[in-house]
A = this chain, B = another copy of it.
């Protein structure tokens, strides 16, 4: 499994799970229809509790990124990913504003900040051709 947890981190375990799965989908490592480990097996692999994995999976299910079946297990959304909704735009801008302010205060120029954003996005989807 491609997931690596930092149990010392201040960011919750279930958030780390959510982030890494989303990044997995964005990067193409996880493709629509691909199966994910069962709640129990992933929990055991990572040495964490069943409910922590369940919480992460459910959040992603509610966002429309995962589908959850009885016996089929958990798979990456095969019927089209959710689009850029108004709610998502708002949330994105709110978080970008916080980052932009912190960057501006430290003297990071507009071009550098924008370029940094572009670079991070590009690296994210760098090898969608192969995984």
Contacts and interface: CB of A to CB of B under 8 A. Distances in A.
A105 interface: yes
A124 B104 contact: yes
Contact of A106 (B83, B97, B115): B83
What range describes how many residues of A lie at the interface? 35 or more
Give the interface SS of chain A, mostly helix, strand, loop or mixed. Answer: helix
Instruction: Please tell me how many copies of the chain the complex holds.
Output: 2
B81 A105 contact: yes
Interface stretch (A36-44, A67-75, A88-96): A88-96
A46 interface: no
Q: Which of A19, A108, A113 has the most CB of B within 10 A?
A: A113
A114 interface: yes
Q: Which of A27, A117, A118 has the most B CB atoms < 10 Å from its CB?
A: A117
Interface of A: 19, 22-23, 25-27, 65, 81-85, 88, 92-93, 95-108, 110, 113-118, 120-122, 124-125
